[in-house]
Amino acid sequence: MTTLTVPDHAAIAAALADPPVFSVSIIQTKPGKFDEFVALQHEQFMRVRGQVAGVRGTRMLKSPAKGVVVLVTSFDTAQNAERFRKDPRFTEHLERVQPLIDRAEAMPVELAYEVGLI
């Protein structure tokens, strides 16, 4: 697991004043391909972290027993999210991991409520 530095209180307050746009992806890997997918996903995170304008943060949740990964990404704006979906760094990554995926669904979502920090 990779842990990054926590932003200062001013950065958190500014982010909360302008709510993010969220994208969620639910990915079912092919049998026997879960670990390879997770490794490639982590490599992609390390390759692009801090380099994509408009990305506020991301979380990868995984269920090895089910072979499922859930990705949650927050963007400053819907335009930033759309720009990232077209970014060659993202589209080329999708081409690399596609053979490992059985099913995937990506969708924009809205925050319904928030309690605590995750």
pLDDT along the chain (118 residues), means of 10: 66 70 97 97 90 91 97 94 93 96 95 84
What pTM was estimated for this model as a whole? 0.80
Q: What is the pLDDT at residue 51?
A: 86
* Three-state DSSP state, 47: helix
Q: Are 38 and 115 in contact (CB under 8 A)?
A: no
Strand order in the sheet with 55-63: 55-63, 68-75, 21-29, 101-109
Q: Are 46 and 105 in contact (CB under 8 A)?
A: no
Q: Are 37 and 25 in contact (CB under 8 A)?
A: no
Q: What is the pLDDT at residue 108?
A: 93
Phi, psi of 77 (to 5 degrees): -145, 165
Residue 29: closest CA among 71, 58, 69: 69
CA distances from 25 to 5, 9, 14, 66, 90 (A): 24, 29, 26, 15, 13
Sequence letter at residue 66: K
